[in-house]
Structure 1
Amino acid sequence: MVALFSARRFHGVIAFTAFALLSVAFYMEYEMGLEPCPLCMLQRIFFFLIGVASLISALYHTVRSRIICSWSVVVFAVLGAALAIRHLYLQNLPAEELPACLPGLSYMVEVFPWQEIMQAMIMGTGECGDVLWTFLGLSIPGWTLVAFIGMALVNAFIALRRA
């Protein structure tokens, strides 16, 4: 019998939450017409990785897999939180201090080496400074930061738990 507050259930909830957040991101992109910036795309990748690691832990539950998956989620969540913090920093810069906007990602993939593409995506571009949507005073990267911090804390607790 699975306990009410088991690591397996928490990982199931975290996997569901990560995939639900991705669904919301795709809804905002395709239905609301909000174009994701490079930092948004990277944050989506980290939510996907968190969802996969949590799903693996929820389905294949051994103590070893729980610990490995929990620490993996902590690492992915910390990296995602760092991107969200960078994104919030860019959103709070004055317009004249924003980095230059870059060409579209599809063009960059065709023309630039992957190292330059990754550097540009991680550093963000001028379009990362646009606040396109807010809820309760927080923009999208603010809410992703909250989600990443919550997921990291829950998984650190799961990984450090003795039982």
Structure 2
Amino acid sequence: MQIKEWAARASVRQWCLLGLLMCCFMMAVALYLQYGVGLEPCPLCIFQRVAVISAGVFFLIGAIHNPKHWGGIVYGILALLAVLAGIGVAGRHVWIQSLPPDSVPSCGPGLDYMMDMLPLWDVMSRVLSGSGECAAVEGSLWGVTLPQWTLLGFVVMGVIPVALLIARLKRGASSTRAVGHAS
């Protein structure tokens, strides 16, 4: 069976399991880098993990539910929103790392301290503005930094909910046409 044929026939469960597998892979790599290699995640890395986990939750619920009609579109949209948030945070991280050293924002308080002392909205805005610790390039593989790999992972993962949405919308349009011809 060709990929295009599989994509047209795949159920919501199959698409969601594929997305969940990608989320598990990304989190496994992140946890290995933290606990196996000893790289501590910066605040932007933690927000990227939140986006991966959020997408994973939507994929998991979609896989368990396996809706037949519009539910697949809802799960696809929710997962896509989580992935787009991850793309935004990872893109911001890549941008901060590309700044010249004299343009990098200064280091601020740690994420734990901010979460204890500030409202959530203030924490999010401070983290997304970046800090010196987010600009540090801790490691790279084949000349590609970890935030760049994460951005690539989010882009690849983004294909899954988009393909799910396209498949569901095509299937919905063809069933609507079939009902219209039967009348």
Contact map agreement 1:81 1:145 (CA 8 A) in 2:
yes
Q: d(CA) in 2 for partners of 1:28 and 1:140?
A: 10
- Residue identity matched to 1:128: C
Sequence identity percentage: 30
> Higher helix proportion, which one?
2
Structure 2 equivalent of residue 26 of structure 1? 31
- Residue identity matched to 1:48: I
Q: d(CA) in 2 for partners of 1:150 and 1:91?
A: 21
Contact map agreement 2:93 2:147 (CA 8 A) in 1:
yes
1:91-102 equivalence runs, <5 A: 91-102=97-108
Match among 8, 13, 30 for residue 8 of structure 1: 13
Q: CA RMSD for the aligned pairs?
A: 1.6
1:20-59 equivalence runs, <5 A: 20-59=25-64
Contact map agreement 1:73 1:151 (CA 8 A) in 2:
no
Give the C-alpha shift of residue 71 in structure 1: 0.9
User: Gaps spanning 5+ residues in structure 2: where?
Assistant: 172-183
Give the C-alpha shift of residue 19 in structure 1: 1.9
Q: d(CA) in 2 for partners of 1:18 and 1:93?
A: 29
Query: Greater shift after overlay, 44-53 or 63-72?
Result: 63-72
> How many residue pairs align between the two structures?
161
Query: Greater shift after overlay, 140-149 or 109-118?
Result: 109-118
Match among 134, 139, 158 for residue 164 of structure 2: 158
Q: Deviations over 1:59-95 (max 9, x none)?
A: 2111222111111111111111011111001111111
1:111-150 equivalence runs, <5 A: 111-150=117-156
Give the C-alpha shift of residue 109 in structure 1: 2.2
User: Gaps spanning 5+ residues in structure 1: where?
Assistant: none
Instruction: Report the TM-score when normalising by structure 2.
Output: 0.81
Instruction: Report the TM-score when normalising by structure 1.
Output: 0.90
- Residue identity matched to 1:80: G
Q: d(CA) in 1 for partners of 2:6 and 2:64?
A: 16
